[in-house]
A and B are shown apart, each in its own frame.
Chain A
Amino acid sequence: MDRLARILGVGAGALLAIGLWLGLVQAPPDAVQGEVQRIMYVHVPSIMTAYLAFTVVLVASVAYLLRGTRSWDRLAHASAEVGVVFTGITLATGSIWGKPTWGVWWTWDARLTGTAVLFLIYVGYLMLRSVVDDRDRAGRYAAVVGILGFFDIIFTHMAVKWFRTLHQPSSLERGAIDPALYLPLMVNLGAFVTLYLYLLLRRVRLVVLEEAVEAEVLGG
């Protein structure tokens, strides 16, 4: 597992470097928004990666409740934490992108609000984990929150969309985006997903170590 992580880490670094060059140098500025649009190459991949991470949390949570195997719980825990990091990046870059395009750092736009809710739900998930001492119990509680949180997000997105929307249509809906911007976006998405897998493996490793330390302390 450590070797795979190392390979993924190097791969993610290389892909990020290429993605950075493609996004900042090679890609043409957007016809309407100009240079600022380059923020998209971080913003969109990070939210896609966050969604991937929380989908993994959902699957691992269901599997943990059904099977009760520790490794599913470790996967859910690790994926949630990495997902929160990527959601945080999405919020930060989105806010910075919002200032020059909408004129404000924060607005109650649909997608922005939805992402903020996403962030809050999974921060709560991590806090719940941190206050329950027993690992199996923490895993079951967190799994329930992870499952409910995922379904709630679907409703939240519907609701905030009807509530109001300022946001441009999703950058990934094909046709809405110029082919010249498409390649850099895809490379960056690949880089972020690889980075996610790398961080996920490291985080899982950390849980394994923590459990070993606990067993060591308790077992004497």
Chain B
Amino acid sequence: MGAWGYIGLAYGLAALALIGYRWSLAARLRKWRTHLDRAAAVREEVT
């Protein structure tokens, strides 16, 4: 593997980790937001 191969690997892995983490944060945020929204909607229906 040449120098640029190593560079590509390093930058690629770093990008993958950051994008992956950001994605997981967004997914978790979305999940709880919908959960709360749904709960609020149910509560509204009851009252």
Contacts and interface: CB of A to CB of B under 8 A. Distances in A.
A92 B7 contact: no
Interface residues of A, number: 31
A46 B10 CA distance: 12
A89 B18 contact: yes
B18 A195 contact: yes
Contacts of A213: 32, 35-36
Given A85-B18, A99-B6, A100-B3, A92 B25 contact: no
Q: Which of A35, A89, A195 lies at the interface centre, i.e. has the most chain B CB atoms within 10 A of its CB?
A: A89
Contacts of B18: 85, 89, 195
Contacts of B32: 206, 209-210, 212-213
A212 B36 contact: yes
Contacts of B35: 213
A96 B13 contact: yes
B7 A203 contact: no
A93 B28 contact: no
A171 B17 CA distance: 23
Interface string A28-64: 0000001110110011001000000000000000000
A216 B3 contact: no
Given A85-B18, A92-B17, A93-B14, A36 B25 contact: no
Given A38-B7, A42-B10, A89-B13, 17 more contacts: A20-B11, A34-B3, A39-B6, A39-B10, A39-B11, A43-B10, A85-B18, A92-B10, A92-B14, A93-B13, A93-B14, A100-B1, A100-B3, A199-B25, A202-B29, A206-B28, A212-B36
Interface of A: 20, 24, 34-36, 38-39, 42-43, 46, 82, 85, 88-89, 92-93, 96-97, 99-100, 195, 199, 202-203, 205-206, 209-210, 212-213, 216
Interface of B: 1, 3-4, 6-7, 9-11, 13-14, 17-18, 21-22, 25-26, 28-29, 32-33, 35-36, 39
